[in-house]
Amino acid sequence: MVDVGDKSVTKRVATARATVVLGGEIMTELRKSGFTTGKGSIVQTAIVAGTMAVKQTWSVIPLCHPLPINGVQLTVEELDDTTLEVRCTVKTEGKTGVEMEALHGASVAALTVYDMCKAMSHGITVRELGLVSKRGGKSDFDHG
């Protein structure tokens, strides 16, 4: 684990995204049902799962520091006729960034969408997990 003891406490924000390619047929069915399956609301369940994942990142990724999380914003929205996009933004004030927390939240939310929809098809794919932006610390990053 990296020693962050000498670092300054700063405001830190990171956003990550993942896409879930469901296909046109599944998206049509989901729109008809209000994005609900037999398991419940896809969007709300993914948001809760992603938020829980953010808060537990340190216990899943071996060398991550446990961090106080000041805020999590998770969205699940239609990207196009076949794909949902998950975005996870995490905020903290601390000595280390929240990139891993944002990535973990986005990935678990995307996997939850898969789990909620897998009865409709196992051809669903989770793609393009990546960091969109980060602010705070010694450098900023913006991938758009």
- Residues recognised as catalytic: 115
- CB distance 142 to 17 below 8 Å: no
CA distances from 117 to 26, 33, 46, 85 (A): 8, 12, 11, 15
3-state secondary structure of 111: helix
Q: What is the number of residues in the chain?
A: 144
- CB distance 69 to 54 below 8 Å: yes
